[in-house]
Structure 1
Amino acid sequence: MKRTMLALVGALLLATSGHAAERLSPWVSAWSTGLVSSETEKPPTWPEGPFVIREVVRLTAGGPRVRLRLSNAFGTAPLRIDAAHVALSAAPASAAIVAGSDRKVTFDGREAVVIPAGAVWLSDPVALPVKALDRLAVSLALPAAPGVATQHRSGRTTTYLATGATPDAADLPGAITNLQWLQLSGVEVDNAKVSAVATFGDSITDGSGAGVNRYERWPDILAERLQAHPKTRNLAVINAGIGANRLLKDGTSVSGLARLDRDVFSHPGVKTLIVLIGVNDIGMLSRDGPVTPEGRQAVVEGLKAGYRQLIDRAHGQGIRVVGATILPFGGTKTYRSDADADADRQAVNQWIRISGAFDAVVDLDAVTRDPAHPERLKAEYDSGDLLHPSPAGYRAMAAAIPLAVLK
């Protein structure tokens, strides 16, 4: 009997290890954003009294059901949401929803939910069929503004805040508008055939220089490329970029290494991670005090060690990591951009290319640099500040990523 039980246990362990890479849940993240605190970033202008937030997100995967991932990660008090609805968005730059698409969202069967300080809360599944690249309107009814909001500062998509409205309203005329995502960290779809590609970085991934309600960031264009090819339509793209983010140090947002679990690993279905971060670590050195050879070397070696940490942690989650070289920023007035800064960037980029630490490498430096002045962006790829790409630059970046490395 003992031998039989041991044999059964052994068989079970072999079966489990053989299927370790399979997902235990059919849910996959079809949209997400990196989160910051309203104490370190500009808070929204909140309406008086009870109000409705309606924020529009573009999904990168489809399925028969959706669910919301709401966050009070930076809240210092419980967050009460009295009601929530989802619907298809009728048009870009509009609070209007598609008639007949509105669905009530529940939480353990109830309309209201109280999210503890620091916590994330998943909604119940909502039967609303969606397709990749559909726009989803998420409406939350709040009794009052949170003391400290959990937000994303630069959504580049209009969010609407309306007093006296209901979350199922067909439109929100007269609403206050801003460009922040508020208390929403993700939208998941029920689709076991899809996995997600997470893009992790700073304002260049966040999309500084891209237009509002135009979906011109390089992760947006990458998602469109994936959906245009039948063999890659089973890949979603989520954006974990935050403006001014550094890999190694906190600023207006916590460091990349500190937020990796919350903004990437916690989202279901992520199998590939594209990393484009480090320009702020190099450039902002001049803001920390005098720039010395020792300080420069510490940043370069710190980035290499930080990348290795990121890779090891991702591999522990079964996630492949694609490293992207840092774009040129010579001449920018944002921070130090002299020959020494470019030498540091080149040293880090060379390590990314030849170290073998990443599972694959995409040389975005080679794609975006001016051949005559390789320390600078190509003129047509510059948004105007010599640091952030233009929409044309973002398109070139997305086009340079071999789709085969994402599968």
Structure 2
Amino acid sequence: MSPLARWSSCVPSVTLYPRNQNLIHRLPIPSKRAISACTTSGQSNASHSPEMKPPFKWVTVWAPTPQPTEEADMPSYPFRGVAFHNTTIRQTLRVTASGDFIRIRLSNLFGSETLHISRAVIAVARPHNSVAPGGSPSILQETAQQVLFDGEQPTSVPGGSYVVSDSLKFPIKAGQVLSITIFLQKGHHSQQITSHPGSRTDSWLCHGDQSMISELSGPDLQSSTHWYFLSGVEMCLGTAHHGTLVLLGDSITDGRCSTDNANNRWPDLLFDRMQQHPFAQNISIINQAVGGGRVLRDGKGPSLLSRLDRDAIAQPSRRYILVFHGVNDIGTADSDPACCQEVTKALKKAYSQIVSRCHAHGLHVLGATIGPMGGNEPYGTCELRERARQDVNDWIRTSGVFDAVVDFDYVLRSTQDNSRLKEEYDSGDHLHPNVAAFKAMAAAFPLDIFEQFDLAETSG
């Protein structure tokens, strides 16, 4: 028995399929210019850069999915009109790798007008009112550094694009909370704002330039559970880093029914486990989920088929892709036999296309079965939709299209009724798992799979 088959037989909720070695392409070694960019951090830090031995690579260590901002998610008064006029926005995030050099990405992907950033500052977040640093309006002021773009501030981001900052020497540990503060003196003269509405983390807004202030204040200070204009944090790492795991999903992966500012979505809990694993601790993880998103058609944000290149394949040092997506396609299908058969067939084709596109870039692709939705209004009220879900899940498990399968349906479903969530895992709407379920999902994820992929590459 091969090592891959033997390993797979020991894990009932996971199937690992042999990989066509002809589809594996090794990523190019960074150019001298790229290495130089990693080992310097702008004019202010270049003289303090330690000696580094190549090769180095830029690695995405945090990224939300950029989305168009719907009316309900727009900033509230007094930050409307000219959006964020004379406004400081402080936002926090948790990085998933340790390193000394970082850079940030700011996005105006869905904007129609140029976004003018007057100042950007990074710092380590400080706990606020004895609360954990996630979602805090406070920073450790001694860690604050201004972020430069091509050696200067301010910077402009044309509509439909994003910018990458210069690198900064900024030592930070995996799991540490980073604060990014931006100041928009002129505001954004557009109601088409790029954001991520499902941050599950407080961001803070106030008037005036308070980007370097340790704690934001003012009579108009307010919080919002959205990330605005942030699209990623990258870190310059050496060959000991094994690559980035990109999670593609919907609201379940985006963390609906998790606790705000607690970082207890199932991807967060998976990251915590990975940090205790000798191989997986050197893999960063990014959550590219869209609440309400679908595989086949646009919904709340672009479809997975249309955003795959941008949100997964284009991520620096991406190596592993997990696809846990499809419940919204099935749940919104018309409740008649022809439509349910059509969406079942279309999802299978879409998954095959996703895997083929990722394989062309040498990526390992994991598929996750779709969780139960029985009893949910309106998704789980139609037996035809449940048959479609079961059919798609059987195909995910048995087709061999994915390099590995993580059976989240098996983890979450009731033993009395496979169409429903376990009672102790149900958030109450019979569709979204609760935090107890997130813990079970993270615990069921087989961390040895990454080392097995590595073994398959080196031995093949």
Residues 18, 244 of structure 1: CA spacing in aligned structure 2 closer, same or farther, 3 A cutoff? closer
Give per-residue Cα distances to partners, 1:129-151, cap 9 Å, x unaligned: 01100100001111213511100
Q: Which whole-Å deviations, capped at 9, do the CAs of 1:150-197 have from their partners, x for residues lacking one?
A: 000110000011101321110112422101011011011111332110
Given that 1:328 and 1:375 are in contact with CA atoms closer than 8 Å, whether structure 2 keeps it comes out as yes
Q: 1:234 aligns with which of 278, 282, 294?
A: 282
CA contact (8 A) 1:23 1:269 kept: no
Q: Aligned pair in 2 of structure 1 residues 128, 394: CA closer, same or farther (>3 Å)? A: same
Q: Determine which of 355, 358, 361 is the counterpart of 1:317.
A: 361
Structure 2 counterpart SS, 1:285:
coil
TM-score for both structures, normalised by structure 1: 0.92
Tell me, yes or no, if structure 1 residue 186 matches structure 2 residue 186: no
Q: Is the 8 A contact 1:244 1:252 kept in 2?
A: yes
The equivalent residue for 2:393 is 349
What residue in structure 1 maps to residue 197 of structure 2?
A: 153
Taking only aligned residues, the RMSD between alpha carbons, in angstroms, comes to 1.7
- What pairs up with 1:63-212 in 2 under 5 angstroms? 63-91=99-127, 92=133, 93-143=135-185, 144-147=187-190, 148-174=192-218, 175-192=221-238, 193-194=240-241, 195-212=243-260
Q: Deviations over 1:11-40 (max 9, x none)?
A: xxxxxx998335525110110011111247
Q: Secondary structure at the match of 1:377?
A: coil
Hey, what does 1:271 align to over in structure 2? Answer: 319
2:302 to 235, 239, 254: 254
Between the aligned partners of 2:174 and 2:233, the Cα distance in structure 1 is 12
- Aligned pairs, number: 387
Which letter does structure 1 place at the counterpart of 2:347? Answer: L
Work out whether residues 197 and 406 of structure 1, in 8 Å CA contact, stay in contact via their aligned partners in 2: no
Aligned residue in 1 for 2:52: none
Counterpart of 1:213?
A: 261
**Matching residue's letter, 1:222:** L
Cα separation, 1, equivalents of 2:391 and 2:124: 47
Aligned to 1:59: 95
1:200–1:275 Cα contact (<8 Å) kept: yes
Q: 1:206 to 1:334 in 2, by over 3 A?
A: farther
User: Displacement of 1:337 after TM fit?
Assistant: 3.4
Letter in 2 for 1:68: I
Distance 2:281 2:418 in 1: 35
* Separation in structure 2 between the aligned mates of residue 240 and residue 249 of structure 1, nearest angstrom: 17
How far is the alpha carbon of 1:318 from its aligned partner? Answer: 1.6
Matches of 2:95 and 2:29 in 1, distance apart?
Answer: 20
Q: Give the counterpart letter for 1:313 in structure 2.
A: R
CA shift for structure 1 position 44: 2.3
Asked whether the 8 Å contact 1:75–1:146 carries over to 2, the reply is no
Q: What letter corresponds to residue 223 of structure 1 in structure 2?
A: F
Taking the TM superposition and a 5 Å limit, the aligned residue runs for 1:28-67 are 28-39=59-70, 42-45=73-76, 47=79, 49-67=85-103
Of 328-337 and 62-71, more deviation after overlay is shown by 328-337
Deviations 1:280-309 (A, max 9, x none): 0000113xxxx2211111100000000011
What residue number does 2:39 align with?
none
Displacement of 1:336: 4.3
What amino acid maps onto 1:258 in structure 2? Answer: S
Which of 219, 223, 228 aligns to 2:271? It is 223
Higher mean displacement: 90-99 or 158-167: 90-99
Q: TM-score, normalised by structure 2?
A: 0.81
Q: Is the 8 A contact 2:148 2:165 kept in 1?
A: yes
Structure 1 contact 41–153 (Cα < 8 Å) conserved: no
Equivalent residue, structure 2, for 1:5: none
> Which among 448, 455, 458 is matched to residue 404 of structure 1?
448
Structure-2 residue corresponding to 1:294:
338
Q: Aligned partners of 1:370, 1:158: CA distance in 2, in Å?
A: 34
Alignment-mate amino acid for residue 182 of structure 1 = Y
* d(CA) in 2 for partners of 1:355, 1:41: 41
CA deviations over 1:179-232 (Å, ceiling 9, x no partner)? 101101101111133211011010011011101001111110111111112322
Q: Deviations over 1:94-132 (max 9, x none)?
A: 211123110110000001111111111100001110110
Q: Distance in 2 between matches of 1:40 and 1:268?
A: 32
